[in-house]
Amino acid sequence: MADTLLEMRSITKTFPGVTALEEVSLTVRRGEIHAICGENGAGKSTLMKVLSGVHPTGSYAGEILFDGKPVRFNGIRDSESVGIVIIHQELALVPFLSIAENIFLGNERRGAGGLIDWNRANAEAGTLLASVGLNENPVTPVIQLGVGKQQLVEIAKALAKDVRLLILDEPTAALNDIDSAHLLDLLRTLRERGITCIMISHKLNEITAIADSTTVLRDGRTVETLDMRDGQVTQDRIIRGMVGRDLTSFYPDRESAPGAEVLRVEDWTVRHPVQDRNVVEGVTLHVRAGEVVGIAGLMGAGRTELAMSVFGRSYGRDVTGRVFMHGRQVRTRTVAEAIANRIAYVTEDRKRYGLNVIADVCRNISAAALGKLSRAGWVDGNEEISVAEQSRRNMNIKTPSVMSVVGKLSGGNQQKVVLSKWLFTDPDVLILDEPTRGIDVGAKFEIYTIINRLVADGKAVILISSELPELIGMCDRIYALSAGRLTGELAVSDATQENLMALMTKEKEPAR
Amino acid sequence: MTSTRPAPEPDTASSASAPAAALHTGTSDPRTLIMRNLRQSGIYVAFIVIVALFAILTDGVSLSPGNITNIVLQYSYILVLAIGMVIVIIAGHIDLSVGSVVALTGAVSAVLVIQQGQPWWVGVLAALAVGVAVGAWHGFWVAYVGMPAFIVTLAGMLLFRGLTLQVLDNISLSPFPAEYQRVANGFLNGLLGGQGFDAFTLLIAALAVAGYAVSEFRTRVARIRYQQPVESFPLFVARVVLVGAVIMFFGWQLAHARGLPIVLIILAALVIGYGLVTRRTVFGRQVYAIGGNLSAAMLSGVKVRTVNFWIFVNMGFLTGVAGVIYSSRANGAQPAAGNMFELDAIAAAFIGGAAVSGGVGTVVGAMVGGLIMAVMSNGMQLMGVDQSTQSVIKGLVLLLAVAFDIYNKRRAGTSR
């Protein structure tokens, strides 16, 4: 078939003890945007690793046809030589090198005598940057760019390799809505230029907005490929394929019955650790027992910075303002003080800030409250295990044993371990920073259920999220932050994605 | 070796699947069982192989009573240093200064005891105090100024070597009085009378075996009570009997030489004590937490600076202990004492399974790592292998040990 660019036939890939892919087939038409979705562990990344040659020919069964011809890849270089380029979720740019150096890394523009011709490289880089709509000097070090712009540099780098099939793994996961929209526009432009694109994404609204076809994977098998061009396929339809069941109500219901005020933060101002500006300015907010309060804001609005500075001055300098627990002013100058005042903060990036991934489940759960398990500095190891076992049952953590290393669990289960750790500190208020980022739909639902259970038990929850439907689905009230200032507070009954976004972008536009 | 733990002991992060493997003893075939346990216990197996190899190569001389006593006396100070070093390494640091500090502490002690005629215990206390002060110095720069330990202790290596020369005025001091020499060269012998061997040493060995068996049994009972997987009962008995037999053989050989070395008692106390500190105390947990993920530890309320400071103070203290033992064994202080000790201690920790990136390692592992180096050096000396070849072989062993460890981890990590 002339209009088929890529065909993967009956790909089966096994790892010791696990079948990651079983008879997976994927057909991508020339010039389309093809979305791949599925829960974590469904086999999306493995499939892309097979396609890009990370898993070499011979390590899997099945065949790959590119442009109608069978291809055999023994590494990234092989797949790139025919024009297949993959951009990973964790961007692979070298921070201290310039944009141009990054774009031509491993693909250098050589001049006389094999030396690199930097004039040519910088000039070509400038052209490429223009084609992805990035207005930056090619000699700027990548570290000075935000994540959104770095993503564009990655795409420019792919274009420099004469890409024919561009694979993007969760391209918008770390982007704010404006950058995401820009990226999706760019993908449409690339499509017009005839570049075929495979996009792995958890964000179903983006898939329905942009994709021409969607292939759904579940448990290492192809469930279905949906034709999206007529616009009939809804997010619910995709979710049904991913989880194999209808999610009539994606956010579990909850009786809202807020009680007395638990945490109040007054006039909170935080300076950037090195730059001369306020990251958070004069923020006042409160949360009551049995209440979920959302904080909405774009990247750089100061949501995480607000939370981390309240939680033991873990961010910023010259922090001013007052923190009250149950109406009484408290000191939270160190993390230990914050914990002692029954504040818990579940960090945004689990692996970097939340977990010791090389330690076992048990030790991660006890890490923030070892004092409760010890006498005179000696830890009661048996009690620790029983606490961990209890969490495992209550939270439904899927792990072979509480002695298993956390790094081997799936994202959703890792998040449940982090939650267990903080619940064991017996907090009155939990600040959850992007608690469902990068975890699959089923695990998300479990996390939501846990949050609801917590507020039913009288805890107060502050939910920081980039996903507006999540905030609207889960919260009682939502604060909007923009450039460090509070720009609004809405009861959930008044909140819509549109008016929240209006508040989040109020005052000044974020600098380009 | 009284406290050397056997292979399948579920220790820290490294052995997550050991209990699971043991749990399946009834169902999984012996080959997979051995393979799984081998991965967990490669270091112990390597140790046994090396001991057996040199026993054969030296016609049993390496396991003779006299030689076993010699190994204990010759390498005790490296093992003491390795205890402190593995804790430093678990937290993600390094200490390059310990060789110089061993020299400095020994020198201070020698000046006080030999030059000024102070009693032996004044020398010991002064050496320990100097060690602690040096540790506090390093701890200050690493923990509170935030400098990399590599640089701080590299500077310390030069600084304290220089101070050693100044303290000693560039000359060697000797000899120490007899009491001081007993620390490293003394024996407990004949306390229960002799029948051609030392009954007291055997009694201590028997007590150690009994203590080990009771403690293992209690751990097992507790784990069963908390519904944690344990190895099958015959396997458990076999393991305890095997370790007991090794300890008794070791005691028997010592009893037929000069008796129980005092330095072995010091070493055993330190190994048991620090084994407990690393596994069972809040401080120990915090060391692993810092090395495993610094940011997560901070955000879990660990006072990272305080912990780092005390890690170095502790390293200084143990360096002081090693300084006393070394000066006692050398019967004096020399300006060049302790040269390259830091490298032996670091090698012991890494051969014993500590990770370069921090967060992984055990005191017992470091002891086995140190003993591997000790048995190899000693065996090669007995065989008359020349110094240069010894160095090449030891270098290769360090390289291969860490390579093997990385290979294992990579294989374990490919399950996703």
* Cα–Cα distance for residue pair B287/B87, rounded to 1 Å: 7
Q: Residue B104 falls within a domain, yes or no?
A: yes
Q: Which residues pair with A217 in a beta bridge?
A: A222
Pairing verdict, β A196-200 and A165-169: parallel
Domain limits at B379?
13-180+262-413
Q: Exposure of B389 by Cβ count < 10 A (0-12 exposed, 13-18 middle, 19+ buried)?
A: exposed
**Which residues, 6 or more positions from B212, have their beta carbon under 8 angstroms from its beta carbon?**
B2, B3, B240, B243, B244, B247
Tell me whether residue B92 is in a domain.
Answer: yes
pTM of this prediction?
Answer: 0.78
A401 vs B12, B19, B298: nearest CB:
B19
Residue B124 reports pLDDT greater than 60: yes
- Quick one: A84 and A174 in the same domain? yes
**What distance in Å separates the CA atoms of residue B5 and residue B15, rounded to the nearest whole number?**
13
**Boundary of a domain, candidates A401, A421, A441:** A421
Instruction: Tell me the β-bridge partners of A330.
Output: A323
What letter would DSSP give residue B99? Answer: H
* Same domain assignment for residues A136 and A210: yes
> Does residue A475 contact residue A292 with C-beta atoms inside 8 Å?
yes
Assign B13 a pLDDT band (cuts: 50, 70, 90): very low
A356 interface with B at CB cutoff 8 Å: yes
Closest approach of chain B CAs to the CA of A357, in angstroms? 7
Nearest alpha-carbon partner for A64 in A75, A52, A54, A76: A52
Judge whether B285 is closer than 8 Å to chain A, CB to CB: yes
Q: How close A74 comes to chain B (CA, Å)?
A: 18
Determine, yes or no, domain membership for A347.
no
Domain that holds residue A456: 251-342+427-512
Residue B188 lies in a domain: no
In a domain, A305, yes or no: yes
- Whichever domain contains A323, its CATH number is 3.40.50.300
Determine the pLDDT at residue B98.
Answer: 96
Alpha helices in A296-407 (DSSP H): 303-310, 335-340, 361-366, 381-395
Residue A353 inside a domain? The answer is no
Choose the closest CB to A379 out of B17, B282, B355.
Answer: B282
* Residue B365 per-residue DSSP state: H
Looking at the domain assignment, is residue B85 inside a domain? yes
Cβ pairs bridging A and B (under 8 Å): 123
- Measured between beta carbons, the chain A residues lying within 8 angstroms of B226 are 382, 385-386, 389
DSSP 8-state symbol, B170? T
Domain count, chain B: 1
Q: How far is A87 from chain B (nearest CA, A)?
A: 20
Q: What b/e sequence results for A332-370 when a residue is b if at least 16 CB atoms lie within 10 Å of its CB, and e otherwise? A: bebbbbbbebbbbbbbbbbbebbbbbbbbbbbbbbbbbb
A122-131, A495-504, B24-33, B311-320: the lowest-pLDDT one: B24-33
Contact B251, B206 (CB under 8 A): yes
d(Cα B404, Cα B43) in Å, to the nearest integer? 10
Residues A90 and A181 placed together within one structural domain of the fold: yes
> Residue A120 and residue A348: Cα distance in Å, rounded?
41
Inter-residue contact B370 to B74 (CB < 8 Å): no
Is A79 found in the same domain as A59? yes
Q: Omega before B175 cis (within 30°)? A: yes
The pLDDT value given to residue B230:
77
Closest CA to A464 of A312, A238, A301: A301
In a domain, B218, yes or no: no
Q: Does a structural domain hold residue A350?
A: no
Boundary-marking domain end, from A421, A454, A471: A421
Is the domain of A277 the same as that of A292? yes
Nearest CA distance, B24 vs chain A (angstrom): 13
In A, residues 33-72, which contact B (CB 8 Å cutoff)? Answer: none
Is residue A394 a part of any domain in this protein? yes
Question: Do A234 and A376 lie in a common domain?
Answer: no
Residue B142 CA to residue B311 CA, distance in Å, equals 10
Q: State the amino acid at position B391 in one-letter form.
A: S
| pLDDT surpasses 50 at A449 | yes
Give domain status of residue B200, yes or no: no
Query: Angle, to 10 degrees, between the axis of helix B387-413 and the axis of helix B363-383?
Result: 150
**Beta strand pairing status for A374-375 and A485-491?**
unpaired
Residues A224 and A273 placed together within one structural domain of the fold: no
pLDDT recorded at residue A16 = 65
How many CB atoms lie under 10 A from the CB of residue A319?
Answer: 16
B239 inside domain: no
CA distance A25 to A32: 17
- Tens digits of per-residue pLDDT, A314-361? 888 889 999 999 999 999 999 999 999 999 999 988 888 999 988 999
DSSP assignments along B201-212, one per residue: HHHHHHHHHHHH
The reply to whether ipTM tops 0.85 is no
pLDDT single digits (tens) B138-187: 999 999 999 999 999 999 999 999 999 999 999 999 899 999 999 888 88
- Nearest to residue A184, comparing CAs of A211, A160, A149, A153? A211
Token duo for residue A301: 């609005």
Q: Within this chain, do residues A382 and A306 fall inside the same structural domain, yes or no?
A: no
> For residue A251, what are the CA distances in angstroms to A346, A360, A420, A442, A495?
20, 31, 21, 11, 16
Q: Give the model confidence (pLDDT) of B239-255 as tens digits.
A: 899 889 989 999 988 88
Give mean pLDDT, residues A292-307: 87
Determine contact, residues A429/A262, Cβ cutoff 8 Å.
yes
pLDDT band for position B23 (cuts 50, 70, 90): very low
pLDDT tens digit sequence for A22-65 = 999 999 999 999 999 876 667 888 899 999 998 998 889 999 99
Within 8 A of B296 by CB-CB distance, chain A residues are 347, 352-356, 367
Assess whether A150 and A208 both reside in one domain.
Answer: yes
Find, among A73, A70, A99, A69, the residue nearest to A86 by Cα.
A73
Residues A158 and A295 reside in one and the same domain = no
Distance from CA of A445 to the nearest CA of B (A): 23
The reply to whether A388 and A275 lie within a common domain is no
Domain tally, chain A = 3
Cβ atoms of A258 and A293 closer than 8 Å: no
**A476 burial type by CB count under 10 A (0-12 exposed, 13-18 middle, 19+ buried):** buried
Write down the pLDDT at residue B86.
Answer: 97
Q: Which of A421, A442, A468 is the last residue of a domain?
A: A421
CA-closest candidate to residue A436, choices A446, A428, A426, A427 = A446
Residues 373-402 of chain A with CB under 8 A from chain B are 374, 377-379, 381-382, 385-386, 389, 400-402
On whether both A81 and A192 belong to a single domain, the answer is: yes
Find the CATH number of the domain harbouring B162: 1.10.3470
Helix ranges (H only) for A211-280 are: 235-243
Contact A335 B301 (CB under 8 A): yes
Classify residue A184: in a domain, yes or no.
yes
Within-domain flag for B204: no
**Looking at chain A, which residue has its C-alpha nearest residue B23?**
A401
HEC readout, A432-489: EECCCCCCCHHHHHHHHHHHHHHHHCCCEEEEECCCHHHHHHHCCEEEEEECCEEEEE
Distance CA A74, CA A261 (A): 61
**Least confident residue range of A202-206, B24-28, B66-70:** B24-28
